[in-house]
Amino acid sequence: MSEQEPEPADESGLARRVRTWLTHRPSRWSSLVPVIALGAGLLFATSSTTARGTDLRSEAVELPDLIRERTLDNERSGEQVDSLRGEVDSLTRDAAPGSSLLQEISRETEANGRDAGLTPVAGPSVTVTLDDAQLDANEIPEGFTVDDVVVHQQDVQGVVNALWRGGAESMQIMDQRVISTSAVRCVGNTLILQGRVYSPPFTITAIGDPEQLQQALDDDPAVDIYRQYVDAVGLGYEVTTAEETELPAFTGRTSLEHARPLPGRE
């Protein structure tokens, strides 16, 4: 008869803990779970703080959509600026209604406001309207391209410069008063002026002597080139006059953000 092997003795508490750790020890990935959870929480908190309830990425992914979105933002900002200017003027009058210094400043402001474009102005006017040619792609005359049948930035600037040289006292492009530092920009066949976007036809209205203004248009080389394209491809060009036209005050920025002196003027 074979001898029976002795049954193993009961394991001690320490031995059982060691064996449990060896058979159930955490893996490398399970040890990283708390770190990953902490990182995710920080990302969510940062995203919430940055967004403040708005989209982090704008839905306007195309340039025209982005321009329209910024135009709406600029219009809202312009309304806020007008409201704040009114409050400032009201508070200034209330603070020193009888101040002789304030009255003197007010008189100087009014005297210079017309030239600076900061006050409405009225008088006889000339209005120039520029428009794209009303042609389909297959109707463009031979020897010309699509770029030749739309109004460009240099066309608008040519009319504006001619009117200033013709003695224009005040000017408006579309529905906005412009001054000597106003910039005209075009993207495709759209006009960007002081943060707003316009589609053709484009109108430029100048107050001054109608005869002098029309003569300046007739004599200007840039306008003459545009009129040649009017005859060749049908671009729109119309000049009208009015005995009395009122232009609004300029509401844009009056300070220059980027400027450099001319050579020899440093």
Max mean pLDDT among 109-113, 177-181, 229-233, 260-264 falls in: 229-233
- What are the tens digits of pLDDT across the range 175-213? 999 887 778 888 877 888 888 889 999 999 999 999 999
The pLDDT assigned to 151 comes to 94
Between 139 and 188, the more confident residue is 139
Q: Provide the pLDDT confidence category of residue 23 given band limits of 50, 70 and 90.
A: low
Tell me: the pLDDT tens digits for 146-186? 999 999 999 999 999 999 999 999 999 999 998 877 788 88
Average confidence (pLDDT) over 239-250: 93
Q: Which two tokens stand for residue 21?
A: 């750790």
Q: How many residues does the chain have?
A: 266
Question: Is the pLDDT confidence value at 37 over 50?
Answer: yes
Give the bridge partners for 127, in sequence order: 205, 240
Q: What's the number of CA atoms in the CB half-sphere (13 Å) around residue 39?
A: 5
With a cut of 80, say whether residue 88 has pLDDT above it.
Answer: no
Per-residue pLDDT, 50? 47
More confident of the two residues 62 and 229: 229
Report the candidate in 36, 29, 73, 40 with the shortest Cα–Cα distance to residue 54.
73
Better-predicted residue by pLDDT, 213 or 103: 213
pLDDT of residue 83: 73
Between residues 117 and 170, the one the model is more confident about = 170
pLDDT at 105: 67
Distance CA 131, CA 199 (A): 9
Nearest C-alpha neighbor of 252 from the set 158, 163, 180: 180
**Taking 70 as the threshold, does the pLDDT of residue 69 lie above it?**
no
Higher pLDDT, 222 or 4: 222
